[in-house]
Chains A and B, each alone.
Chain A
């Protein structure tokens, strides 16, 4: 099963782009990369997902390297409300494997 590696914590200045990296070097060809975030004491919130191509939605952009061994979640203009734990997940069939994520703190 593919697993992910993320830095345990990051800081970002308010209004700047937050770039959250994720390594998934053992990912296989049919496994999607998902990103969720969890604000303290709430359930995880879906952000974005992708397979091979870069993806963008109203919340974020997802950049996946050509070899698919890593990806980056980009929050283009971080706000204080983006302070949360961000999980990079590789979905294998019907299973989502959540790791311990990156705790992002947006600083005023």
Chain B
């Protein structure tokens, strides 16, 4: 089975802090994705990566950056956290960019 893990289930940070969310997959997938999920809005794509050191903006990249130094790891970075970034963050991976995506358990981030 595909396993996608995220570094924290719950995280509380203060406004202005730099926040790192880590995602690791163990299936040698080429593609990895970061979404945020908010009530009434469904899941929205922030960034995705189709190869090491490659990244593409999704629908809502503002306020976020990403890093993919190794194939199995994809990090989401909030350079200066703001209260409107309080959300559930979901990481996913897929073997091919057009293939089924497998999700991690999510990180619920609260920015105070």
Interface size of B by CB at 8 A reads 25
Q: Is A68 an interface residue (CB 8 A)?
A: no
Instruction: Write the chain B residue with the least CB distance to A92.
Output: B98
Instruction: Evaluate whether A94 and B97 lie within 8 angstroms (CB atoms) in the complex, with A41-B106, A43-B4, A101-B42 already known.
Output: yes
- CA–CA, A87 and B35, complex, Å: 15
Q: Is A34 an interface residue (CB 8 A)?
A: yes
- CA–CA, A45 and B102, complex, Å: 7
Q: Which of B31-75 contact A (CB under 8 A)?
A: 31, 35, 37, 40-45, 48, 50, 58
- Give the interface of A toward B (CB within 8 A): 34, 36, 41-46, 49, 87, 91, 93-101
- List the 9 shortest-distance A-B pairs measured between CB atoms, nearest first: A43-B103, A98-B43, A94-B97, A98-B42, A44-B103, A43-B105, A99-B42, A43-B106, A100-B42
